[in-house]
């Protein structure tokens, strides 16, 4: 087997996040972007250290799991909703197996109880935020607006029937696309760094129907967008546009950011409601992209942290403070720590919006802030970035010896590493019973891990409460529906005495 050679084979399984496994001539080959049971043709593009990777060229035969038709016009070229021809139930089973295998490795043979899977409240049109790119589907072709073609950083497919978002969003996309197409306006070419149109960013409150529209361009050209504003406001939408922004972005990198924001209409924020609390969300505020699934997630988080009456809660990596505020309604005090200052300000505003006076948010690095905090927590909530908790921060967190730790992770492999570090730091603790439950949502999986630990005579054990319980709630955001996101899910783990 050599690089450049072409082979055929059947994908036997798919490992996390989307690594199909094909056995050819006794050699294991990883082929991305396929599904179990498909017969595929692939070309070897990497071969070293006994490992081989192949690039998918063609699906020769469908998988027996492909029991339904595609739901959008650009499948499978888009590569976003890779598994849409597989039933939702089989998607759940596949993701369950992927995460369970990761945890098997992390727990190193420890017995545990599997608790099953829960589905998303809605399968399609769930996203409250979407970034679309301007470009063309082929070199020098007509203007397109949508998602990148699978495996390409340049070709863009018009996603006017995308099933990830509410129909209001696809109507807005079509309006904006046709407006600039008729006027022959240029798009930004990343290699030459020339052109005008870059992205269309849409945000829509699932519970409120409030919509923000952001047209992102360079400053290389000037266009009067007044008529575009009028066309957008005239659209027959189920929801309501509350803000239209023109964002100037001259950055060389292909990211959505603002050098200047011009409000063409209304305001630069909208409201969303979760579990009875109201949240003000601006253009770049982080918010879980599946609002209804977030309610399921946060409900379980709240259930697993238990009774927090008269207790102090630390929400570390708190973001805009969504979870902190849900905990604050039943806690004595909640202290949130977040390194992004803008997110901290948003958290303070939302706490005030919900009349929560027992929330305090601190801007800073968790690793450093913990050294300065004088308060002692009874419960700790962790929601770190994709790469997980800094190895130096975890011992500090564990040294509090609290009854409950809630951990939210947006990457399954980060979960695997964190559990490995946790068990390594818990040398001298015995784990006679471990129970795990995982529930995947469309874009989110939920799980519960229950560890009963017996502390023995170690320095760390002496700092921890005797027979204390640690709750890990793991949320993996697997947005496998979008081409620029790696497949991810939400999971919840619960470690208790």
Give the active site residues. Answer: 410
Collect all residues with Cβ–Cβ distance below 8 Å to 435 and sequence separation of at least 6.
Answer: 112, 113, 115, 448, 449, 450
Measured CA to CA, the distance from residue 182 to residue 178 in angstroms comes to: 6
Query: Per residue in 169-185, is it b (16+ CB within 10 Å) or e — as a string?
Result: bbbbbbebbebbeeeeb
Question: Nearest 5°: phi and psi at 391?
Answer: -55, -30
Under 8 Å between Cβ of 243 and 270: yes
Structure tokens at 100: 């369970």
- Run of H or E residues at 367: helix 366-372
Structure tokens at 117: 């899977």
Of 449, 448, 299, 318, give the one whose Cα is nearest residue 377.
Answer: 318
Structure tokens at 494: 């619960």
Question: Nearest 5°: phi and psi at 74?
Answer: -105, 10
Collect all residues with Cβ–Cβ distance below 8 Å to 239 and sequence separation of at least 6.
Answer: 166, 168, 204, 205, 208, 209, 210, 211
Structure tokens at 242: 């509350």
Measured CA to CA, the distance from residue 400 to residue 236 in angstroms comes to: 55
The sheet with strand 260-266 has its strands ordered as 156-158, 143-148, 129-136, 197-204, 210-217, 240-248, 260-266
CA atoms within 13 A on the CB side of 89: 3
Measured CA to CA, the distance from residue 212 to residue 133 in angstroms comes to: 17
| Three-state secondary structure call for residue 94 | helix
- Run of H or E residues at 92: helix 88-107
**CA distances (Å), 94 to each of 18, 42, 83, 228, in order?**
11, 22, 10, 44
| Three-state secondary structure call for residue 86 | strand
């Amino acid at each position: 087997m050599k690089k450049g050679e072409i082979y055929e084979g059947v994908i036997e399984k798919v490992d996390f996040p989307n690594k199909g496994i094909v056995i050819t001539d006794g050699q294991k080959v990883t082929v991305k972007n396929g599904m179990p049971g498909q017969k595929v043709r692939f070309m070897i593009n990497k071969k070293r250290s006994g490992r081989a990777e192949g690039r998918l060229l063609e699906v020769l035969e469908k998988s027996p799991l492909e029991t339904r038709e595609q739901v959008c016009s650009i499948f499978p070229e888009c590569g976003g909703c890779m598994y849409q021809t597989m039933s939702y139930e089989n998607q759940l089973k596949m993701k369950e197996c992927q995460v369970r295998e990761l945890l098997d490795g992390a727990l190193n043979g420890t017995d545990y109880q599997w608790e099953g899977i829960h589905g998303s409240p809605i399968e399609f049109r769930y996203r409250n935020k979407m970034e679309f790119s301007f470009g063309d589907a082929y070199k020098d072709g007509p203007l397109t607006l949508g998602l990148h073609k699978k495996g390409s950083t340049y070709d863009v497919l018009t996603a006017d029937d995308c099933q990830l978002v509410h129909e209001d969003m696809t109507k807005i996309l079509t309006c904006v696309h046709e407006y600039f197409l008729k006027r022959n306006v240029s798009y930004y070419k990343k290699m030459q760094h020339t052109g005008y149109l870059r992205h269309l960013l849409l945000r829509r409150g699932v519970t409120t129907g409030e919509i923000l529209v952001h047209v992102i361009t360079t400053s290389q050209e000037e266009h009067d967008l007044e008529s575009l504003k009028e066309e957008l406001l005239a659209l027959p939408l189920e929801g309501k546009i509350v803000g239209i922004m023109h964002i100037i972005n001259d950055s060389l990198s292909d990211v959505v950011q603002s050098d200047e924001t011009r409000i063409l209409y209304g305001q630069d924020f909208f409201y969303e409601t979760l579990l009875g609390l109201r949240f003000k969300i601006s253009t770049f505020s982080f918010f879980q992209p599946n609002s209804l699934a977030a309610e399921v997630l946060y409900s379980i988080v709240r259930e697993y942290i238990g009774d927090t009456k008269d207790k102090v809660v630390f929400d570390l990596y708190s973001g805009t403070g969504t979870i902190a505020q849900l905990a604050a309604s039943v806690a004595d005090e909640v202290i949130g720590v977040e390194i992004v200052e803008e997110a901290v300000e948003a958290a303070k505003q939302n706490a005030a919006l919900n009349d929560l006076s027992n929330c305090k948010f601190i801007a800073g690095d968790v690793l450093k802030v913990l050294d300065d905090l004088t308060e002692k927590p009874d419960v700790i909530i962790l929601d770190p970035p994709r790469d997980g908790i800094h190895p130096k921060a975890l011992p500090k967190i564990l040294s509090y010896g609290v009854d409950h730790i809630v951990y939210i992770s947006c990457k399954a492999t980060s979960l695997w590493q964190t559990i490995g570090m946790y068990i390594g730091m818990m040398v001298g603790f015995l784990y006679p019973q471990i129970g795990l439950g995982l529930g995947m949502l469309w874009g989110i999986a939920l799980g519960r891990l229950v560890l009963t630990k017996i502390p023995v005579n170690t320095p760390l054990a002496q700092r921890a409460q005797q027979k204390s319980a640690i709750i890990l709630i793991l949320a993996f955001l697997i947005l496998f529906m979008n081409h620029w996101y790696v497949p991810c899910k939400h999971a919840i783990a619960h470690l208790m005495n």
